[in-house]
C-alpha cells in the first residue's frame, strides 16, 4: 500500500485556526495529509514567561510524537522566529532533524523562501501583535531577505486565543489601511489569525498576493515532500505554477 505523504505540524496549544485551515487546503489533495502535535503557547509578548514558551525541549518532545507517525516533514506552524530571530528557527529545524531524522521547516522560514523564490522586495505587514513584535519582524525581513516593509498594521493583542476571534471585518480594515500605498506582497504573520480563510477575496479585491504564514508553510511543505504546490487551488497565488504576478 502506498500511503499519502504525511506533513507533521507543531501547533501552539491555544491555536484553533491553523489545523482546520490546513486540512481544508488539502481537501482535494488525497496524496498528502496533515498531522498535528501541540505544545503550550498561550501568550505572545516579549515578556520572559511568553518567550520561554518557545524553549526547544517541549517542541522537540512534540516533534518526537509526530515522528511516531513516520511523517515525511515536521513543520513548526508558528511565527516565533519573527521576534526571536530567523536564526533561532534554523537552529530549531536542525534540532528537530537531529532528534527525529526528519527534515523540518517553520512558517517564518517558509515565508522567507517564498519571498526569495518570487523575488518579493517589498511588503505590507498585518498581524494581531503588539508594535514591539511587529518592529522585530520588520527587522528580520530586512536583515535576512532584504525585504522592505512599507506599511504595518497590528492589533496590540497578546492573548493567543484572542487572535482567532478577530473578525474578517476587522482584518479587512487592516488590509485596506496598509494597501493605500504600493508594495509587492501582503505579509500576514500569525498562524492563529483567520485572514487566510478569505485569501482569494483579499488578493482579488486589493490586487496584491498574500503571503500568510499558514499558506506559505503548506506551500513549502508540499515542495519538501515532492508534491507540486499548484495542486492546491483557491488558497493564494503563492501556490500558482504560472507565477505570483499572473
pLDDT of 105 > 60? The answer is yes
Residue 103 CB partners (closer than 8 Å, separation 6+):
72, 73, 74, 93, 97, 224
241 pLDDT band, cuts 50/70/90, is low
pLDDT number for residue 2? 84
DSSP β-ladder status, 32-39 and 5-12: parallel
Candidates 182, 211, 207, 179; CA nearest to 196 is 211
Reported as a single tens digit per residue, the pLDDT across 40-86 is 999 999 999 999 999 999 999 999 999 999 999 999 999 999 999 99
Alpha-carbon span 223 to 168, nearest angstrom = 30
245 pLDDT band, cuts 50/70/90, is very low
What is the distance between the terminal CA atoms of the chain, rounded to a whole angstrom?
Answer: 39
Alpha-carbon span 199 to 95, nearest angstrom = 33
Helices 107-117 + 215-224 axis angle, to 10 = 80
Average pLDDT, the chain: 95
pTM of the predicted model as reported, rounded to 2 decimal places? 0.94
pLDDT of 89 > 80? The answer is yes
pLDDT number for residue 242? 52
pLDDT of 21 > 60? The answer is yes
Region 150-178 average pLDDT: 97
Amino acid at each position: 500500500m502506498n500511503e499519502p505523504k504525511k506533513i507533521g505540524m507543531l501547533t501552539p496549544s491555544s491555536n484553533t485556526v491553523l489545523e482546520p485551515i490546513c486540512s481544508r487546503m488539502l481537501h482535494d489533495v488525497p496524496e498528502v495529509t496533515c498531522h498535528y502535535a501541540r505544545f503550550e503557547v498561550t501568550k505572545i509578548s516579549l515578556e520572559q514567561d511568553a518567550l520561554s514558551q518557545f524553549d526547544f525541549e517541549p517542541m522537540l518532545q512534540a516533534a518526537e510524537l509526530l515522528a511516531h507517525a513516520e511523517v515525511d516533514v515536521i513543520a513548526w506552524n508558528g511565527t516565533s522566529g519573527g521576534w526571536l530571530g530567523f536564526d533561532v528557527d534554523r537552529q530549531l529545524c536542525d534540532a528537530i532533524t537531529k532528534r527525529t531524522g526528519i527534515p523540518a521547516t517553520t512558517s517564518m522560514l517558509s515565508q522567507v523562501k517564498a519571498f526569495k523564490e518570487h523575488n518579493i522586495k517589498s511588503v505590507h505587514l498585518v498581524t494581531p501583535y503588539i508594535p514591539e513584535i511587529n518592529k522585530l519582524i520588520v527587522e528580520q525581513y530586512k536583515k535576512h531577505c532584504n525585504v522592505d516593509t512599507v506599511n504595518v498594521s497590528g492589533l496590540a493583542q497578546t492573548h493567543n486565543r484572542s487572535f482567532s476571534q478577530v473578525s474578517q471585518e476587522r482584518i479587512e480594515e487592516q488590509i485596506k489601511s496598509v494597501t493605500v500605498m504600493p508594495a509587492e506582497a501582503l505579509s500576514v504573520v500569525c498562524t492563529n489569525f483567520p485572514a487566510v480563510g478569505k485569501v482569494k477575496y483579499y488578493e482579488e479585491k486589493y490586487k496584491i498576493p498574500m503571503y500568510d504564514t499558514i499558506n506559505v508553510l503548506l506551500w513549502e511543505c508540499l515542495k519538501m515532500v515532492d508534491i507540486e504546490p499548484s495542486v492546491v487551488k483557491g488558497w493564494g497565488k503563492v501556490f500558482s505554477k504560472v507565477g505570483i504576478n499572473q
